Structure 1
Amino acid sequence: MATPLMSLTWTDHLTGRQGFLVVDRLVRGVASGGLRMRPGCTLEEVTGLARGMTLKEALYYDPAGRYVPLGGAKGGIDCDPRDPEAYPLLVRYLRAMRPYIERFWTTGEDLGLSQDVVDRAAAEAGLVSSIQAVYPLLDDEAQARRRLADAFAVEVDGMGLDELVGGCGVAEAALTALDRAGVPYTETRVALQGLGTMGGATARFLSRAGLTVVAVADLKGTIANPAGLDVEALLAARDAHGTVDRAALRPGDRELPGDAWLSARAEVLVPAAVSYAIDAENQERVTARWIVEAANMPVRAEAEPPLAARGVTVLPDVVVNSGTNAWWWWTLFGDVGPDAEEAFAHTRRAMRALVGRMLARAEAEGITPRAAAHALAADRLPELADRFGWYR
């Protein structure tokens, strides 16, 4: 992995807890990447995520589009978001990172943090916005900010548009792979780890496309039903952290151990919660044909060769979960308006094209989809450098 442009570790003076910021690359002087909060978060993890953001941004480069991709960055805080100290810690972290956020790091929700919590803490830390560094790049800042605010106010069947676009992209990546393989949706079962922002929206889109969701895992364990779970009932019974109230389960639903999702009898496995969920040891339990990485870095590198040897295709996070990030910028720069159907249609078109190119290159060159995605991004990075210059 290339050395990032900037890497820092922050230690909170009150609790001794640590936070991290890694800027992998700048484009037009700005980098994009969310802020996560989880116990055990490390600088190494944040560095990998920042590199992934550089690749995600580059994959969406379209010289004809209003949105011009930014560089890649990521932030992380080593704390359980449910800890009573988590919110004040977040505010202190953002105060410490204020010079970077004001000048070149645009950030937002990621694992453990919702956008409304980030926005509230950013305001308390004295920031105009968590994405204010991008404002000088906009043609009409006031209009762009109104458009994004209007988009965040849109709800569809009880879920915010900002939550849904990511799941729409994940689902479309899975559906594209099924279509290329000629597998009918109605004969496809899905198991998910995580029913939070990304996992919940993904479950809804896949269920509505005709797939059968047979298992979902949350902090309390795995809920399974080989005949299919009632996805909408589970979504309605979630708390703010994606944990399902077991009172909502039907007679045929079973409660299984937390890791049972991994070996569920399903064609599609969607890790949509934590990083490093699938490693060299537990990959042996996977029976699915596809792993669709809705979370960031859920499959460890050492797990991919044995998975590939068993015919399991991993659709990589840099493509699969890139829809949310792209939608933010499409909306802010004016490629799409604050309308759900327009956002979903744009996301579906972009994801279909991107996954199609990735799988075609993987097949043509005999490489994994991840290697193909990285190659596609590597092709575009020099184009960005030629147009905007190198910033490291």
Structure 2
Amino acid sequence: MTITPARPRTHTPRRRRHRVPAPPRHAISLLPEPAPPAEPRSRRAPVRRTCLRAALLRCGLYLGPLSVATAAGEPLGRVAWPVPIVTLLLGWAAAQALTSTGVAVARRAGPSAATRLVGAGFAAVAALWCALVWVTPSALVGPDRGLALVIGLGGLASLATVTAALVTRSEAAIVGWSVPCWLLAAATLAGPAGESVAELPVGTLLPAAIVVAAVRAFRPVVIPGVPGRIPRLTRPELRRGSTFLLIGASQAICVGQLWQAGPSGSTMPFWLPLLLAVPILEALIGWHTDQVDAGLDTSPDGAAYRKHVRGVTLITLAGLLPPLAVGIALALAAYRLPPEAPSQADVLGLAGGTLLGGVFAVTFLLAARGRTGLAATLAAAPPVAAAALPLLPLPAAGPLPDAVAVLAATHLAGLLAVAMTAADDRRTAP
């Protein structure tokens, strides 16, 4: 999930604004669009129809990095565990920050400038990764530094491709160019079933597939003869980018904590609930932001607008409650199993993944409503609390139970924060 800044609104609702409709606020639809017809007309129906399409496009984009990780399963097994964790930390944090700032830059300077910003940002992250691989002891990167270097650069390139697609609004095109990565991941999973598939040179084709998708995503930069430069970021853009950098880093740390706390070789991966929840949560957040924006045109006064927002927030809370309920139910079911049962840790891992998906959704919903500081606080709370719990004079329950308990408390606090935003008449992000 990657939420980009919304267009600011500072005025109060009026009876009916007879003006040319502005571009929709949804994160996928923030960049300049063709000029609308001069005659005013309602824009809400088409925007509502595009919410689900935008969510599905984003899910297709996220399948690209996931497919790369799946296809690279064999080389990932030959490097130390910090390699994928640090790659995820650097790449996801950079993707969040650069998506937030890149959309704003594309809105005021064009997609080429935004693409250059994303490219420069990920180039700096790639340089940092190379330096880390060079100076880190072999015990933390594995016996083959070159392989660790290539794995990290491949993961960063796939996340950079997704980020460039979001800021240039080329999601549909990049999804199509990511199909080779999907096919290689499918071939890797089906390898043991057939000799012809097993003999496919995935190790050679995967880097080529990553590069092809990245070249298409950064086409505004790689086309020869296209002049341009990286624009200077404004102070609000820098502040918002820093906030999303913190959100992305916190989310990556949460994923790493659950992965490390869970049992090795688990047949019930904790990230499975995240994959199942992403399409639903993306559509829910898109629907929420669109309905809140629709109230600006349909509400005759401020009181009616606040009532409208409260109704939308109530429905949204109903959609965000199932991850909390399912996660707590799975955790309770795990504790009813015998402690020596190997499935107890698996069920706890599923509970943690379910709760983590809900925390992600609450965080991004608050960010989409302009509460970026509150969103960053909620995102940072689980890793900070999980690190502090062993220092407190409390009974030691273990890393995985502690992580599940912290995620459940954060999810509940996030729901309360979303409910409280319904009483606040601020419209959108600053």
Class of the TM-score when normalised by the shorter of the 2 chains = under 0.3
Structure ranking higher in helix proportion: 2
Larger RCO, structures 1/2 (Cα 8 Å, 6+ apart): 2
Query: TM-score under structure 1 normalisation?
Result: 0.27
Query: TM-score under structure 2 normalisation?
Result: 0.25
